[in-house]
A and B are shown apart, each in its own frame.
Chain A
Amino acid sequence: MIAWTIYISFLGMAVLMCLPRENARAARWVAMAAALGGLVLSIGGFLAHKPGAEITTVAKLPWIPSLGIEYHLASDGISIVLVLLTGLAAVTGILFSWNIEHRAKEFFAFYLALIGGVYGVFLSFDLFLLFVFYEIAIVPKYFLIAIWGSTRREYGAMKLALYSFVGSAMVLIGLIAAFTVAGGKTMNLIELAKFPFPASFQNWAFPLVFVGFAILAGLWPFHTWAPTGHVAAPTAASMLLAGVVMKLGAYGALRVAMTLFPLGLAAWRHEIALLAVIGIVYGATVALVQRDFKFVIGYSSVSHMGFVLLGMMTLSQIGLSGAVLQMFSHGIIAGLLFAVVGRMVYDRAHTRELSELQVMNLSKALPFASVTFVIASVASMGLPGFSGFVAELQVLIGAWQTFPALAILAGCGIIIGVAYTLRVILKAFFAEADTPPVEPGHPLDPITTPERIGAVLLIGTTLLVGLYPRILLDLIVPSLETPLMQTMWKGGAQ
């Protein structure tokens, strides 16, 4: 069933391509139907999933027998959680792009291609298949940003595409090498994870594959595509970028690099944990001094993704489950933040400069936007009651047990996070009006219904997970014990 999330997205893309030109309304509804279908299927998969340490095979067919490549889709708790996130991000992304009129058909076609690729990555248990979906997700991003984006869109799009492609080239080298060393018989992730790769091989293959994936997760110092890409992207694309695409990187790093090369992981985890913490602190500090509203959110994404990577490096159950929860939580919260900045504010005020927003008195002009943003920011700061708190707390506890010094630094990152969030709330929405507020040259359009629905959906999710985290943790925690993850625990924990 859950495999249909992939097919329905590509089906939607195919239908869109056949639509007559420039019928934005029809295009929107087709895209919405496909995304909603995906969401319903993923919720179905979520409800049907029985927590446990098994990997449920969804489809397993021989694909290219001469290389031992199979069409192998399967799911465990981690992939179910991320599929659910994708479904939510896809639907809300369309809600927040309801106003796209320019080349709407193509916009949603690229959008659904990206979504289909993301679903595919989360459900693939054959390395070749996973890589195929991973690359399918790269190309649409370029076009989404380059065609429909804003500030320096062609530069941002090309930078993002090249970073992604360099990352996937690194991954590909590692995968082909691993495939060959293991005898060239199978691409099955579970089978390959059982193969004892020599330590000397793992020592170079692990950083290659891990960093290749982690480039997309915004690992410092390879994060520079993220702020420019997020800023250049249209709202829906930045929601997807921060919401799910960065998770692709983290997921790949966890699922492939860490399970295949546990000895390499043990050798490199301190270095990578250090990079993750630098990312947390650096992202937060840089966000503190940005003038562009969207850059603040862009850098905050780098900072929050640092927690995911740090959590993975702790190699403890609490840290890892925190990392996965943080992937989900950040996907929802960053999506919401980008929706407010890109759609609610920028599409109306036509500026993102904090100094210009400061004089517009947006809390009066756009009360819904300011309330949404305040909720999203307190969730992002890690206030108890929201999903970010549970996730980052778990990561910090895990990190405290393994790398106490780094945990303290990461904690400082959270404090800086509070600072930049408060600063941006104040500047953008609640500026102290020394001078009487300057009316924008034109009245701001009221917030539309699709935007309200989208915002409520995302806020509701982060609250639900924040108040009752077990709804996801019950799926995630047992999945850390699947046969696939066993080698990682055995090889790396000591």
Chain B
Amino acid sequence: MTGDYFALLRLLAPEAIVALTALIVLGVDLMRGGRQTLPSRMSAAAWITVIGCALSFFCPAPTGAGLALASGVFTSNPLIQLAKQIILLLTAATAVISISGRFTNHAGEYFSLLLFSTLGMLFLVSADNLLIVFLALELTSLCLYVLTAFDKRSVASAEAALKYFLFGGVSAAFLLFGFSLIYGVTGEIQLTAIAGSLQQSNGQDSLIMVALVMVVIGFGFKVAIAPFHLWAPDAYQGAPTPCAAFIASGSKVASFFILARLAFAALAPSAGNGEWARFTPGWMPVLALCAALSMILGNVAAIAQSSVKRLLAYSAIAHAGYMILGVIAGGYAGKPAQAITPLLFYVSTYALTTLATFGVVMVVESDQGNDRLESFGGLRSRSPLLALCMLIFLLSLAGIPPLAGFFGKFYLFTAILGAAPNDLGLLWLVIIAIAASAVSFYYYLQILKQIYVVDSPAGSSNLKVPVTVTTMAVLSAVAILLLGCVPNILIDRFEAAVRLAGF
């Protein structure tokens, strides 16, 4: 493929558009920003971001089973394409809810950093090579650290960013160490080649086990699963709300996608066994323990929170635990295709729900000055529409039908149980997951109780809700309801993409 720049450009078009948009946003704000007020600068930059994401979204997808560049540095197939579209959608939604945020004077820089982190995510999902995985992950993370610190007037924001950065830096070191061990053992950095090499040694090399643990630790930090979750509550609480929303949504989708690819494509021979009382070394038992711990710890700790953003952070930890179940389900021989659809369905509906929830939280927070539970008191009389949307979001997170969150859970749990159906070896994970989600109902109800049961404090007027947030919230609520009632519209697309991608 050397010299075929046209092919290169065609394959990289979505990324190129996003990178260009980031520069345009920066440039436009630099040239015109001085003469305009902050709100108009924010909305100008946001809409440019949305247009850029839309262009990239509709960029014609490469056809066929998949294309690879420069011996697998960068690949693309319909499934990757779909993952990219989801990430772009989440970026656009984040940009839209950011419009009404008043946490910074640097509109251009904010949106260009948002786009650069999106760029990192796009590269991440199409990486086919350990080096690119690492580079893309760091591009994303560095942008997210800065975004977390973006509220310069807030001490909490700076503290959160520092914590996030320090934990993130350590996790990057673990990841790199793990990757170099994998390279040392197999002599390969390309994902499928690693699998081929591991296959020959049966995947049970002791060095590989060390490497696997390192990789799990590295990714564990990135997706915030227990016991590597400590940064998450502070980062979610301290970061400007739209940034927290983006960390919880876009970066989750990208990280889980690449984690699943890494696990299924490269490390499948060293999966081990995660069935109860039949553990054998590999990444599966390690992930299974992390998942169990996340589900229990996340849900139990969320009960004690009085800050809604912190509560959502713990709920994110719990949800990351559920998502790990999808990765484990794919670890069984011949099953990745059956596990990837439930996993992606769950991750993307969760990302949408949590993003929209953060949007509502942002409105309440800017009105009340804090995000404590009591600030939501009587929201239903102050803004009935937003209250209804919040009802749908939180019930979906709790897994109540007929919302997307319920079907996502059901689909994921049948997938993991079906991965080892003969004697239900993975039932222990399903039991923990369902029991934990029964616990989660309690704290979601605590928020809903404030919204619907408690009366609004005396003298409070109607809530001023920016029209952008209302639109976003209503659209998300409709989507969540629709995906819960007719999940096929998304599942079919995923399944078709998985088939075409030849997973």
Contacts and interface: CB of A to CB of B under 8 A. Distances in A.
B430 A135 contact: no
Interface in A155-200: 158, 161-162, 165-166, 169, 172-173, 176-177, 179-181, 183-184
Nearest to A117: B401
B434 A136 contact: no
B414 interface: yes
A132 B418 contact: no
Nearest to A135: B401
B421 interface: yes
Dominant SS among interface residues on chain A: helix
Contact of A132 (B401, B424, B441): B401
B474 interface: no
A451 interface: no
Contacts of A63: 488
A436 interface: no
Interface string B436-474: 011001100100010011000000000000000000000
B427 interface: yes
B393 interface: no
Contact of B441 (A67, A136, A165, A176): A165
Give the bracket for the number of chain A residues in contact with chain B: 35 or more
Interface in A105-148: 106, 128, 131-132, 135-136, 138-139, 142-143, 146-147
Contacts of A165: 438, 441
B410 A176 contact: yes
A177 B417 contact: yes
Nearest to B407: A64
Contacts of A64: 407, 487-488, 491
Given A158-B445, A169-B437, A173-B431, A139 B418 contact: no
B437 A177 contact: no
B395 interface: yes
Nearest to A182: B421
B264 interface: no
Contacts of A17: 388
B402 A172 contact: no
A181 B421 contact: yes
Interface in B398-446: 400-402, 406-407, 410-411, 413-414, 417-418, 421, 424, 427, 430-431, 434-435, 437-438, 441-442, 445
B453 A146 contact: yes
Contact of B421 (A66, A139, A143, A184): A184
Contacts of A106: 380, 452
B495 interface: yes
B277 to A, nearest CB: 16
A456 B388 CA distance: 38
A179 B411 CA distance: 12
Interface in B1-20: none
Given A17-B388, A131-B401, A165-B438, 9 more contacts: A158-B445, A161-B441, A162-B438, A172-B413, A173-B427, A173-B430, A179-B414, A180-B421, A181-B424
5 contacts: A63-B488, A143-B453, A169-B437, A180-B421, A184-B421
Interface of B: 341, 380, 384, 388, 395, 400-402, 406-407, 410-411, 413-414, 417-418, 421, 424, 427, 430-431, 434-435, 437-438, 441-442, 445, 449, 452-453, 487-488, 491, 495
Interface of A: 17, 21, 63-67, 106, 128, 131-132, 135-136, 138-139, 142-143, 146-147, 154, 158, 161-162, 165-166, 169, 172-173, 176-177, 179-181, 183-184
